Amino acid sequence: MHPCWQLLERHASELNSGPVLWLDPPEIHELMKSGDQVVCLDQGVDAESPIPALSLDQKPSEEIRLIVLFYPKAKRRLEWWLQRIEEMSIDCPVWVLGENNGGIKSLPRRTAPFLACEKVDSARHCALFQCRFIGPMPRQEVWHYYQVEEHSIGALPGVFSQEKLDVGTRLLLQHLPALKGSLFELGCGAGAITLSLLSRHKECKVVTSDIDLLAVQSTQHNIEQAGFESRCSVIWSDGMSQVPRQRFDALITNPPFHTGIKTHYAATEQFFAQAEQWLKRGAVLWWVANDFLDYQPLLGKSFSKVEEIAHHSGFRVFKATRI
């Protein structure tokens, strides 16, 4: 159980006194009761939610009596959530909680002067604040743009590689050969790899996915801006869970492994273990990973060989060919 839920269990009576709006919980919990509502950015949580999940453009019920926001890792995503809460104009308390090593202690300093934060409780290396707006939030641009090759990449707050192209992705793009046919990318982030594949390889079609809803929306926005929507499908998916069963001519990934403040390998490990089931015979799996991450042992016996293609700045690019 996530430690934030353990802290909230100490406040069950308050949480049970009326409908609660849960914002981006790290996992589901029995405190999420009938009559509550939830907004999930993590597709795995959304898929398991026992209560109605709202889309980002849906207005919460006016009966909500408490809003609970789980503190996000990214500073700009915190500001994005608080701006959305302010726009909801729901007259109820707002609780913000998170892990100490995730930065929750800095909440009062980071949100002054527009938010008053009073610490309610702390336990399990987590802290809980009750907050109220005392002034208007400064308006900031939701989208951040940067250039990759000929494309302008737009990223929503907290999306992987939000500010610039990361080192691993840059190395992978430098060494990818010409690819044809149907391609799949796991963990699209802001869509830099997807856009590169579509622009370099005019005949290919790409399916790409991410567990983070804002990453999916960022990539969808970028492929539409580039005019590639007819050749690309962007799927909100925890690993391959929502991807229609098919076989591809190539799989490409800069594997995601961070969930919140923790390092998370499960979805990526499952992807590598099942990669042969998604590839045609003779097709290739391409990936880039930090030096300390070794996915080769996870590959099934259907791969003839694994080759290291490049090594630079703590990252390695590999290709594995399916028999």
Same-domain pairing of 110 and 156: no
259 pLDDT higher than 60: no
pLDDT bracket for residue 261 (50, 70, 90): very low
201 pLDDT higher than 90: no
Number of domains in the chain: 2
SS (H, E, C) the chain: CCHHHHHHHHHHHHHCCCCEEEECCCCCCCCCCCCCEEECCEHHHHHHCCCCECCCCCCCCCCCCEEEEECCCCHHHHHHHHHHHHHHCCCCCEEEEEEHHHCHHHHHHHHCCCEEEEEEEEECCEEEEEEEECCCCCCCCCCEEEEECCEEEEECCCCCCCCCCCHHHHHHHHHCCCCCCEEEEECCCCCHHHHHHHHHCCCCEEEEEECEHHHHHHHHHHHHHHCCHHHEEEEECCCCCCCCCCCEEEEEECCCCEECCEECCHHHHHHHHHHHHHEEEEEEEEEEEECCCCCHHHCCCCEEEEEEEEEECCEEEEEEEEC
Mean pLDDT of 234-241: 96
Same-domain pairing of 162 and 308: yes
48 pLDDT higher than 80: yes
193 pLDDT higher than 70: yes
CATH number at residue 294: 3.40.50.150
Same-domain pairing of 113 and 164: no
Rounded percentage of the chain residues whose pLDDT exceeds 70: 98
Mean pLDDT of 53-74: 95
Identify the domain containing residue 121 by its residue range. 3-133
43 pLDDT higher than 70: yes
Same-domain pairing of 66 and 193: no
Task: Give the pLDDT score at 264.
Answer: 61
Mean pLDDT of 158-173: 93
Same-domain pairing of 149 and 126: no
Query: What would the pLDDT profile of 73-110 be if each residue is shown by its tens digit?
Result: 888 999 999 999 999 999 999 999 999 999 999 999 99
Task: Give the pLDDT score at 260.
Answer: 47
pLDDT bracket for residue 257 (50, 70, 90): low
